[in-house]
Structure 1
């Protein structure tokens, strides 16, 4: 662990992440841990600093909706998104290698944030602040650490998690190996179980902050990754037993400019604003310059393969724009794509925000929703028994009904293979351009390579080892033999 960065960022005015706060850097190398944290305000500064890398910022937010965010890159490796230049093309063709900074930067830019959270947890555990404040603060820090750890683990496989004793002695150069697979899973799982015990309930958590429900949702994602079907079902049942979350009636309206703070389907969202404290750039990423009212940079498209997978009356494809008349008077569509629809429709997803006066929009970045709990439970039930049953089908139909679709029948998906093919389609339709987890869904069912080749043919460089991204050569070099590259990239 060379050059461990211990710079965290504090939030001074608002206790709600992303709601017009002012940001000030805090250098913890200049803070005496014997006296900090000593107050509730100090704890808040530590905690909100942990949310900072999780926001939607082009420069240093992992959930930016730009090409520097995980949704953009991960969905671009699937049929949901396609690009013909930049990191989006690397993702589309699975042509990324260890020198592809557009993908390796996710680890390089964010792994030290896990270490920062470890130090903050230690400082808080050894502080003299009120025990209730301490317990809640540690729970948020552990959830933040687990959230970031899971996302990096999902993309790169096991990562380096620096021990506290190494972090407390940053001047001693200590090359560290990546954790084993089981160690990585256990590390994330323990943090999330601890967080779920001490975080506030969904009804008590502020919008944009972690809750017990969200910690359990992350456990579902971890358990799906590991195919621990019984544990997925157990966590889904625990969330349902909270009797808080519910599906909203209007799928499309969830992605409007209106705040979703009172929406009981939203389990975690990053509030966005025009000030750029936490920003949503997706409209500019997607829309061509000649789009009516307000254009964009046209950096990414969807695919016609994805568009054609929707049933005709599925409301979830409402903002998958297959035709528009540009400011030049020309109508663009599949038969007349120009250079803006040659790969597929425009994956807008969010509402048009014509009133914005910058490249940003105020549409909140929704990352996890209760619909995921429902579909995850359906998948777990079917795979736990290696055969779907009526309960699993009924859960899928809850989601389909909201999408204005006819119910499916158990007789049509009686085998586990047929059911899993169907659940992958439903997951892609429900969560496209949200958290980028459809890539993980495809990998879980052994369909990642197959879908890439079907989409891109001979141009695809997809292979089983591409299910993990490569680490940068700098990380390998700094590891001095302890840090090993993912197989296939050497």
Structure 2
């Protein structure tokens, strides 16, 4: 008979991440979160028809709009406050360690993120593993292929975040079976999966994306919320730039394919993050630069804005406590030294507030790229892809420094900055540092900086130096070293599964 309760001590995130189902089962003759009944021979029906499949696909897309805490808010804390771009912002014990480099496996932010990412994987797996079993003939072969491709892009995107954070983690691509008294020895291990290597994770991401790029929807200029072929190509360019799969020829190939899909830089940088003239809505959505974005309109607002600053469409909403990801003096100095007013004013804003954690309260800087409840969150945009191509041109076996410099100049031109001088264009190491600075200024507060430093082995050089030159930064607790390139796996995960091992240095 079915076991009614088992392993109650497991976290809900682990359960959903592994099985997308509850272990607290009655006989499967009614609807539940993972089944829509059973056939006469006892086979579970996960999706009874096309409408059920499409409803679940909508659920995947809703993760972008409704669950921003881990893939956006927390990722900015890691990418910017754990780099030289920002301070933690608050005095909370869960966020300060990202600024002073004292992160441990007990950190509640990382525990939340691990569990929620695995929940996302489980939702994708539910569709990928079951769509071909749907007997509704109105669900065509082409639709099955497309919906599965969209789910694979979502899964790849989630796993890409996970592998860059933790390195080795369980790469789960199946839905665990129900446990019964008859199969417990066989099924039990499915709920406690092994820890795959970083390379295995990247190989699965690559496989998902290569499958998906064949069948995903094309880029739709009027709807940049879709998991499209262009999103898959963007992710392929990104994974081939990472050390485990590094292939700069493929980086260039997929960057060029994204360009061929119709993407380009917008002429006005404020089109990406600005407000309309009336100050009531986002200035633009679905720009030619945006590859994937989450969109928010009146009545379905983006709550993230009050984590970072003030909501320009509701000024007093939650503007009474210190905000996360406060721009650092080092970043502000970098903008000023470059004379970069265009991107500075779209990235950082000064308000009068009620706290003075890092600056005087009457002139306090805030991250400005998520400035209202109607602001879109741009997950991927073409400037990132373009600068990634420049990186590949610099780092490939036969560098094309002039080609890379021309790309950097294209991005700088929009910011009304001059071309790179010959002394920079002709020296590989100097040009690489110029690229890193350009990415820093262009992509500040977009979840990039920490991962740029990791990808190019710059963590120790940059981060161990910033504490002495940034007077506002909290004192460094631990020195950055090679072990710092991965974050600690949550201790609660290790306690629940003896197949999971902590990353070195924690």
The alignment's TM-score, normalised by the length of structure 2, stands at 0.80
Residue aligning to 2:129? 122
Aligned position for 2:76: 71
Provide the residue aligned with 1:427 in structure 2.
439
Equivalent position to 1:82, from 67, 71, 87: 87
Structure 1 segments unaligned to the other structure (5+ residues): 9-24, 354-360
**Per-residue displacement from partner, 1:388-436 (whole Å, max 9, x unpaired)?**
42111111111111111111134323232212111111111111112x1
Maintained 8 Å contact 2:77/2:98: no
For 2:117, what is the secondary structure of its paired residue?
helix
Instruction: Give CA-to-partner distance per residue, 1:87-116, whole Å, 9 cap, x none.
Output: 331111121101111223211232133133
2:201 matched residue in structure 1: 184
Evaluate the alpha carbon distance shift between residue 142 and residue 427 of structure 1 in structure 2; reply closer, same or farther with a 3 A threshold. same
Q: Distance in 2 between matches of 1:204 and 1:412?
A: 36
What is the aligned counterpart of 2:291 among 264, 267, 271?
Answer: 267
Shift in Å at residue 50 of structure 1? 2.1
Q: Indicate the residue corresponding to 1:238 in structure 2.
A: 257
| C-alpha distance 410-327 of structure 1, shift in aligned 2 (>3 A) | closer
Give TM-score, length-normalised by structure 1: 0.83
Give the alignment partner of residue 317 of structure 1, picking from 333, 337, 344. 344
Structure 1 residues 231, 275: CA separation in 2 closer, same or farther (over 3 Å shift)?
same
Q: Partner residue of 1:173?
A: 188
Give the match for residue 154 of structure 1: 164
The match for 1:250 is 268
Partner residue, 1:22? none
> Whole-Å Cα distance in 2 between the matches of residues 154 and 34 of structure 1?
36
Task: Go from structure 1 to structure 2 and tell me whether the alpha carbon gap of 1:26 and 1:53 turns closer, same or farther (over 3 Å shift).
Answer: farther
How many equivalent residue pairs? 447
> Residue 429 of structure 2 aligns with which residue?
417
- State the secondary structure of the residue aligned to 1:55: helix
Q: Distance in 2 between matches of 1:76 and 1:268?
A: 24
User: 1:281 matched to which residue of 2?
Assistant: 304
1:338 maps to what in 2? 360
- Residues 306 and 323 in structure 2, CA contact (< 8 A), matched pair in contact too: no
Q: For 2:467 and 2:294, locate their aligned partners in 1 and report how far apart those are by CA, in whole Å.
A: 33
Q: Does 1:447 align with 2:466?
A: no
Q: List per-residue Cα deviations over 1:257-290 (Å, max 9, x = no partner).
A: 32644411100001124545x624225523599x
Alignment partner, residue 16 of structure 1? none
Q: Offset of 1:34 from its aligned partner?
A: 5.5
Deviates more, 1:372-381 or 1:28-37: 28-37
Q: Could you say which structure has the larger radius of gyration?
A: 2
Q: Please say if residues 73 and 88 of structure 1, whose CA atoms lie closer than 8 Å, have aligned partners that are also in contact.
A: no
| 3-state SS in 1 of match to 2:254 | helix
What is aligned with 2:34? 28
- When the two chains are superposed, the root-mean-square deviation of aligned CA atoms in Å is 3.1
Corresponding residue number in structure 1 for 2:184: none
State the SS of the aligned residue for 2:70.
Answer: coil
Shift of 1:39: 3.6
Supply the distance in 1 between the matched residues of 2:177 and 2:83 (Cα, whole angstroms): 41
- Of 106, 113, 118, which aligns to 1:99? 106
Range moving further from structure 2, 463-472 or 425-434:
463-472
CA contact (8 A) 1:272 1:364 kept: yes
